[in-house]
Each structure stands twice: as C-alpha cells, then as structure tokens.
Amino acid sequence: MGGKARVACTRETELYAPVRAWLEAQGYRVRSEVLGCDVVATRGDDLVVVELKRALGLPLLVQATQRQRASDSVYLAVPRPPRLRADARWRGTLHVLRRLELGLLLVALGRRARIEVALHPLPYDRRKDGARRRALLAEAGARSGDHNTGGSRGRPLVTAYREQALHVAWLLERHGPAAPRALRAMGGGERTGAILYQDVYGWFVREGRGRYALGAGGRAALATFPEVVAALREPVDGERAS
C-alpha cells in the first residue's frame, strides 16, 4: 500500500527519472537537455522527444509542436492527477492531442513511480463528419439573421426552429386565432402545422378543430426576443410605406 502512495510534483525535474527509466526499459539511449529539448531518446534511427511540464497548457503544446520539426515521436510528460476523471473536458484534451499527433505520458510519483501512457504520437486521420457539416450548413442557412451573441450563456438560443415558431406566434398576435393553412398563406412557412401541433415551447392554445391562438407563453416569448420580432415587422412596414 505504501509503495503506491503518490506525492505532489513541485519541480519538472522530478519527472525526469521515471521517464528515463521508462524509455530505457524499451531499449532507448536517453539524454537530457539536448538543444533545448528536455529529453531525447534514440534507438537506432528512432528518435523520441519528451517535454516535461507540471501541467498541460498552451505553452507546452506550442513547444511540443515545434519539436515535431525534428521528430514524429513527441511526448508530453505531466504528473498524473490524483483523481483522473474521464469527463468531457479530459476527452476533449485527448482529442486535441490526437489531432496534433502528440503523445501523452502521465507520471505517478511516489516510492514506486510509474508511467501511464495516455496517448502515443500516431498519425491522425482527419476525416470530416459529413452529417455534421450538412447540419451546420442547414441550420446556419435557415436562420434569417444573427440574433445570438457568440459565447453567451443562460439565454435561450434563437435557432432556426425557434425563429420559425416566433414567426408563427407573431402572426397569431397580429391577426388573431387562425388555422395552419391561413398562417402558411401569411408567410408562416411549411412547418407551421407541425410547430402548432407539437407546441414544443408551450406557446400556443388550440381553439377547436384545426384552429390555434397565441397563449401567454407565446406573448412572453415575443417580448423576450424583440430583435427577432422587429425583423419580422420590417417587411410589413416596407409594404405599407410603398
């Protein structure tokens, strides 16, 4: 039990001995501080570079990618966190390292220091996600304007669907209760019937067969997104002016 106890890393030099031992166990000849590289290991024509740091960060990534000019096998070596959680942030970190074709060594310090290979520096197959690309193009193209602020949090996004639902809500506010066919004729769009029937946001009230009115939730939504409503009013105001 005591041999597994981990200690905190206070200096990058503490990582060197475990990394060197790991490389030597694989038959590499190891040298430190070679032309700016923390660790250089050779085995015949094979060249491995390892950069030692107390934590992952952008400066380390920049440094490591510079080392790739000399070697295809570049590892980052950092202390292993006491509690390594395989959460979305960690998976994202590994994804970035894979795309950069960098390896990652996690060094567990203690009486029996050990190396855990999180990633080897392998070529990355940069295949595009065709379905994701089509979805992005479709969503961006279906929005009539830019009604969101990049990086914002806590406010519902104006997606293409929400924009269309707001259009239907605005038509009901302007003209009163109506059937989907009449709202489509007013410019509500082909999805008007589905928007009213599904009522995803709880904005609409069904008044008899095939007839809908605007509910309190819909009126509140129109007040929440005044910039979208203003864009809807512009064509109508333009028609009146002409």
Instruction: Note the pTM of the prediction, 2 decimals.
Output: 0.63
Per the structure block, which two tokens stand in for 47?
A: 């060249």
Give me the residue spans of the domains in the chain. 2-119, 157-234
- Kind and range of the H or E element at 31? strand 29-34
Contacts of 117 (CB under 8 A, 6+ apart): 103, 104, 105, 106
Topology at the third CATH level for domain 2-119: Trna Endonuclease; Chain: A, domain 1 (3.40.1350)
pLDDT of 2 strictly over 70: no
210 CB neighbour count, 10 Å cutoff: 14
Q: Is 86 exposed, middle or buried (0-12, 13-18, 19+ CB in 10 A)?
A: exposed
Split at pLDDT 50, 70, 90, the class of 242 is: very low
What size, in residues, is the chain?
Answer: 242
pLDDT of 21 strictly over 80: yes
Split at pLDDT 50, 70, 90, the class of 112 is: confident
